[in-house]
């Protein structure tokens, strides 16, 4: 029996360029493997890539998007810094350029119009439930599977903006923020979705699933000191990165334990003392050069053995 094939893509801002280049290289090595994917999942920048692939864009198209338009997305003007009192109030960037770019790509398409099934995490800051005992914030996983909980009517542009609204970097959108706060690596979420009998008439067994997970590069970051007596000001910025890296590692562990050799993870590690932040558009050439040298031989072998 053919496997149920899942591609899962991490968040990481401009580091999505690394993902796009790795996908491009894998497609060259194993032509047509992407066409056989049953489910495309992605968080934040990975969500934009997943939606782009499901819309019909190629990895080369997505690579060009990052290389040519990345600086426009993370465009911080002097006026914005004044309004935001430097970086003390307000997001680092507005999302108007990103929204315009996404509109040019997706137009008015809705999730139901996409050529592939997708799963896109976001986080709802207020579910606005009329029942006060149920009103709260909560994770939200947008998908275009059939069923009563389908999000097929949602506009693709909006979902892309929801999943990529990283706290402190971009403002929230319609009450949603970046899915990276709960599932920066959405691999485990894809396994849960694949087992949903409401959306899948015949859910695949876990032994029938092949899952390829691609990260956006790991920086060897650390916080030295054994007894940190920090408050809000000290924890605010690193806490975002800690949460996103931490939840990604949990998902990797869970998927590896559940799927064994039916799971493959590509998660390149940057050189020591080399950090590439989510908005490091000045490092696009360096990031592209790094991506071209990532060893994908293991993933190529895995695709040939497990994806067909």
Q: Which residues are catalytic?
A: 44, 178
DSSP labels for 238-296? HHHHHHHHHHHHHHHHHHHHHHGGGEEEE--BPPTT----TT-GGGHHHHHHHHHHS--
Distances (CA, A) of 247 to 32, 184, 185, 253, 286: 31, 7, 7, 10, 27
CB atoms within 10 A of CB 101: 18
The sign one gets for the Cα dihedral 20, 26, 32, 37 is: negative
Enumerate residues 6+ apart whose C-beta is below 8 A from 61. Answer: 52
Helices and strands in the chain: count of H runs, count of E runs = 11, 7
CA distance 21 to 293: 10
Question: Encoding tokens for residue 41?
Answer: 């999942």
Question: Encoding tokens for residue 222?
Answer: 């650390």
SS3 assignment, position 70: helix
């Amino acid at each position: 029996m053919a496997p149920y094939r899942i591609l899962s893509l991490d968040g990481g801002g401009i580091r999505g360029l690394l993902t796009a280049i790795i996908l491009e290289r894998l497609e060259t090595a194993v032509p047509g493997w992407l066409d056989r994917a049953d489910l495309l999942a992605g968080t934040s920048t990975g969500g934009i890539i997943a939606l782009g692939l499901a819309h019909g864009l190629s990895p080369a198209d997505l690579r060009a998007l990052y290389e040519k338009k990345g600086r426009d997305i993370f465009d911080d003007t002097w006026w914005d810094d004044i309004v935001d009192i430097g970086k003390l109030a307000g997001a680092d960037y507005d999302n108007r350029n990103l929204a315009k770019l996404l509109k040019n790509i997706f137009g008015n398409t809705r999730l139901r119009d996409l050529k592939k099934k997708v799963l896109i995490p976001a986080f709802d800051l207020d579910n606005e439930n009329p029942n006060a005992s149920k009103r709260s914030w909560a994770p939200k996983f947008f998908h275009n599977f059939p069923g009563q909980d389908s999000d097929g009517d949602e506009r693709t542009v909006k979902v892309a903006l929801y999943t990529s609204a990283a706290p402190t970097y971009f403002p929230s959108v319609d009450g949603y923020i970046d899915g990276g706060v709960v599932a920066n690596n959405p691999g485990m979420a894809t396994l849960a979705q694949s087992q949903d009998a409401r959306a899948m008439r015949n859910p695949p067994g876990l032994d029938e699933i092949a899952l390829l997970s691609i990260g956006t590069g790991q920086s060897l970051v650390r916080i030295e000191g054994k007894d940190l007596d920090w408050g809000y000001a000290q924890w605010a910025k690193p806490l975002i990165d800690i949460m996103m890296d931490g939840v990604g590692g949990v998902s990797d562990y869970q998927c590896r334990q559940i799927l064994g050799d039916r799971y493959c993870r590509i998660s390149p590690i940057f050189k020591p003392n080399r950090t590439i932040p989510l908005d490091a558009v000045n490092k696009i050439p360096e990031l592209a050069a790094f991506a071209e040298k990532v060893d994908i031989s293991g993933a190529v072998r895995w695709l040939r053995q497990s994806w067909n």
